[in-house]
């Protein structure tokens, strides 16, 4: 049986008085790619951002239930948020490179987490090249590492944002519609990259694109109105959904 990297149990979440999640239960298998699908506003991104507690930055969010990440209660009193977010990296809808050089972008999180302990240039060079190779950018940017990252194409920027997470060696990558700002060619390239991470990282990806969910995930979870409706291997969910609501959504009858 596959090891579980993320598990929520009876997870509820409120934004002020508005309840966005209702008793959500899901197990995300270690080293696999799991997609979250469902209509806009159904709670997909809210669930994603609960895993590394990004929602709490809003200040008016309340949760009940539990979220276990890599065997630990993510909401436990002894949990260090910095360490949790080191283990659980986040990629957003639009690329968000810092207005710094390509080199400084990739090494930014690594330097933050090291605090006052400074790494040698040679050590940083190794981390830099490794991260950029993993996202298939090294050959394209190795001769312009001091160039501002905002000058890159959108595809390159999104790959760079993924590369920025890798030097701190996360175990989990959360991706919130990471291809929504990209054209079809760039989307295909990023999907191929995400698929190449299978086995090395646990990936939970929100997507509005059902074709993408079929192509680029191994398990798929369908959400509706803040509730987890159905979780299954991706092929099974699309070919033989157990619930009529799931069938209606994937066949385009609503959403």
> Which pairs with CB-CB distance under 8 Å and at least 24 residues apart come from 21-25?
21/46, 21/47, 21/50, 21/63, 21/226, 22/225, 22/226, 22/227, 23/65, 23/227, 24/65, 24/223, 24/226, 24/227, 24/228, 25/228
Provide the pLDDT for residue 117.
67
Structure tokens at 104: 């400084």
CA gap 158, 186 in Å, rounded: 10
Domain ranges of the chain: 4-95+170-250
> Which pairs with CB-CB distance under 8 Å and at least 24 residues apart come from 234-240?
234/35, 238/210, 238/213, 238/214
In which residue ranges of the chain is pLDDT below 70? 1, 115-117, 254-255
CATH topology of domain 4-95+170-250: Rossmann fold (3.40.50)
**pLDDT tens readout for residues 64-79:** 999 999 999 999 888 8
């Amino acid at each position: 049986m596959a090891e579980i990297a993320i598990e929520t149990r009876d997870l509820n979440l409120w934004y002020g008085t508005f309840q966005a999640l209702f008793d959500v239960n899901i197990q995300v298998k270690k080293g696999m790619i799991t997609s979250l699908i469902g209509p806009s506003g159904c709670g997909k991104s809210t669930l994603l951002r609960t895993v590394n507690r990004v929602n709490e930055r809003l200040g008016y969010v309340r949760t009940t239930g539990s979220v276990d990440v890599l065997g630990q209660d993510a909401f436990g009193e002894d949990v260090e948020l910095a360490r949790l977010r080191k283990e659980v990296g986040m990629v957003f809808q639009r690329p968000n490179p810092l207005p710094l050089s390509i080199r400084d972008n990739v090494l930014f999180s690594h330097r933050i987490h090291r605090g006052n302990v400074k790494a040698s240039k040679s050590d940083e060079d190794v981390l830099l090249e490794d991260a950029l190779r993993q996202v298939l950018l090294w050959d394209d940017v190795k001769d312009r590492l001091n160039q501002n990252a905002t000058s890159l194409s959108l595809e390159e920027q999104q790959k760079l944002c993924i590369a920025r997470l890798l030097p701190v060696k996360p175990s989990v990558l959360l991706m919130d519609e990471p291809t929504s700002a990209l054209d079809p060619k760039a989307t295909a390239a990023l999907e191929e990259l995400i698929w190449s991470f299978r086995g090395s990282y646990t990936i939970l990806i929100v997507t509005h694109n059902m074709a993408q969910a079929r192509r680029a995930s191994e398990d798929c979870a369908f959400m509706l109105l803040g509730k987890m409706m159905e979780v299954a291997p991706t092929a099974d969910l699309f070919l033989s959904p157990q619930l009529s609501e799931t069938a209606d959504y994937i066949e385009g009858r609503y959403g």
